[in-house]
Amino acid sequence: MTAMSEAMSASAQARTMSDESPAAPPPPEVIYVKTRRIACDGGGALGHPIVWYSLEDGEAECGYCDRKFVYDPEKAGS
Ligand SMILES: [Zn+2]
């Protein structure tokens, strides 16, 4: 009797294991820029249609890829 209930709980556990969610997405990137008007296309193969943002408040977040653009000429570098 005991063996049977053990087998049942084992199969229930296997079902739960296969239902695992995929790996979490990478954290949003912060990009420092030295112009108040920037374009984002997501970058690389995982890109998206190009969108322009005005950093009137000093920063903007891309609605497609969640990258954050911060107006900071010193950190932007060359
Ligand atoms: Zn983007």
Q: What residue segments make up the domains of the chain, in order of their start?
A: 23-76
The CATH superfamily of 23-76 is q5lls5 like domains (2.60.260.40)
The answer to pTM > 0.85 is no
In whole angstroms, give the CA distance from residue 10 to residue 58: 56
In whole angstroms, give the CA distance from residue 23 to residue 46: 16
In whole angstroms, give the CA distance from residue 29 to residue 42: 11
Cα 41 to averaged position of ligand 1 atoms, centre (Å): 5
Cα 42 to averaged position of ligand 1 atoms, centre (Å): 4
Cα 75 to averaged position of ligand 1 atoms, centre (Å): 20
- In tens digits, the chain (78 residues) has pLDDT values of 666 666 665 555 555 555 667 787 667 789 999 999 999 999 878 799 999 999 999 999 999 999 999 999 999 986
Cα 30 to averaged position of ligand 1 atoms, centre (Å): 11
